[in-house]
Amino acid sequence: MTPTTTDVTHRLVPSPAGRIHLVEQGTGPLVLLVHGFPESWYSWRHQLPALAAAGYRAVAIDVRGYGRSSRPDDAAAYRLRELVADNVAVVHALGEESAVVVGHDWGSAIAANSALIRPDVFRAVGLLSVPYAPRGGPRPSEVFASMGGDEEFYVSYFQEPGRVEAEIEPDVRGWLAGFYAAFSADTMPAPEEPEPHFVARGGTLRERFPKGVLPGWLSEDDLDVYAAEFERTGMTGALNRYRNMDRDWEDLADFDGAPLTQPSLFVGGALDASTTWLADAIKAYPTTLPGLMSSHVLDGCGHWIQQERGDEVSRLLINWLDSLGS
């Protein structure tokens, strides 16, 4: 019988954060799955049983600040180096010396930096939605502040503690539904409508979300899972990842321009701004990802790629993992 997510094992393991909650399924070579914003281990619900059935030990974590993992109070505790240390701790807590790491959205950056900083632990890296771009250029805050003209880029909007939390808190479930819909292929605003990555001065992000519609990949029950987690934990731990981009830029100075040399995979959505805005990063892959073995941009797909195209992404992951060998 094909495994389902009812066959998973939930576990808490020690990490520099305190604890990391993970969900595990299958046996074989370890594949660590790292989600993005605003998600959880549940984002990998399609991949966990598929990878397990293919002969892999699939482990999806709640990133520091999410779900049942620890949520440090200090915003600086969410810098990339700290999240890399969590990933290393998970691998060792599971009794392994090495793993393949796969990430989506912010998880893609966490996965890439895990492989960059700890190549002794992470032997291969899969990147979903957000391409790899080496550290470099001006401070991220300066770049984001220059975007949007009279409007404010969402990353800048997220910087001030409490600001976007105040927008979300009155209706967490509704905000999440709108955020997911805004960047899904079947529900995203038309090109002539206001861009949901930007906020009008004095406005809110929510104003530009689609109203009263869920994307095809997200059931009411799925939304309930996400909403229940964030209603319990609040959003600050998740948002603190955005509040460390300048710290990351400083922390990673020794890796300025560094290529990611392990065997790698990239899968993006053709309708995802992460793919289109960062097209130059993808073009640079021969230099920045010299170990790239497989690269795919899925037509008609938005940002939530492993949920929008669960079976297809699982197949691409398995084909790539099989090519790596154990």
CATH class of the structural domain 5-324: alpha beta
Residue 312 bridge partners (DSSP): none
Pick out the chain residues at pLDDT < 70: 1-6, 326
pLDDT at res. 5: 59
Q: Is the pTM of this model over 0.85?
A: yes
Of 105, 197, 248, 272, the catalytic one is: 105
Give the start-to-end residue ranges of the domains of the chain: 5-324
**Would you mind telling me the total number of residues written for the chain in this entry?**
326
In terms of Cα–Cα distance, which of 229, 226, 199, 246 is closest to 75?
A: 246
pLDDT at res. 201: 87
Which residues make Cβ contacts (< 8 Å) with residue 249, sequence separation at least 6? 135, 139, 140
Q: Is 120 annotated as catalytic? A: no
Q: Is 248 annotated as catalytic? A: no
HSE-up of residue 261 (Cα within 13 Å, Cβ side): 7
Residues 54 and 230: beta-carbon distance below 8 Å: no
